[in-house]
Amino acid sequence: MTWKRVCKVTDVPENTVKKFTVDKVTLLIANYGGGFRAIPPLCPHMQEPLEESGVIANCALTCTKHLWSWDLSSLDMLGETERPLQSYEVKLENGDILALIDKELVYEFEDEDDIKDDDFFSKA
């Protein structure tokens, strides 16, 4: 595994996520105010691009599509979230954010036909 330079610390304002590609691996850098996380670009729930739908507040990243949330300081799942958020190890060096990238982190998603059985969409 190799540490790869992703961006400068100043490239990602506090409480935002920004997309980068490093050696053909696409990832997001999340600045949650207490540090940085490098994560896959899609929500592990239903493939929603977190660059567009991810909101950070109080160290929590929330996907606005279905309100799944994770504590970015601990990576704990919050509320009704059912799948963990994957993360690359990061470190800061000389004002740069580096990520330990061995391979691209990806989630396994259900087929769209299976989504109709999702409790979120069921009607009582």
All structural domains of the chain with their residue ranges: 2-115
Architecture of domain 2-115 in this structure? 3-layer Sandwich (2.102)
User: What confidence score (pLDDT) does residue 124 get?
Assistant: 46
In this predicted structure, the answer to whether residue 116 has a pLDDT above a threshold of 50 is no
45 or 117: whose pLDDT is higher? 45
Helical segments of 74-118, H only: 112-115
Listed in sequence order, the residues at least 6 apart from 110 whose beta carbon sits closer than 8 Å to its beta carbon are none
Which band of pLDDT confidence, cut at 50, 70 and 90, is reported for residue 109? confident
What pLDDT does residue 79 have? 96
3-state SS string for 19-61: EEEECCEEEEEEECCCCEEEECCECCCCCCEHHHHEEEECCEE
> pTM score, two decimals?
0.86
At 112, is the pLDDT very low, low, confident or very high (cuts 50, 70, 90)?
A: low
Segment 88-97 mean pLDDT: 98
Whether residue 72 is predicted with pLDDT greater than 90 in this model: the reply is yes
**Average pLDDT over all residues of the chain:** 90
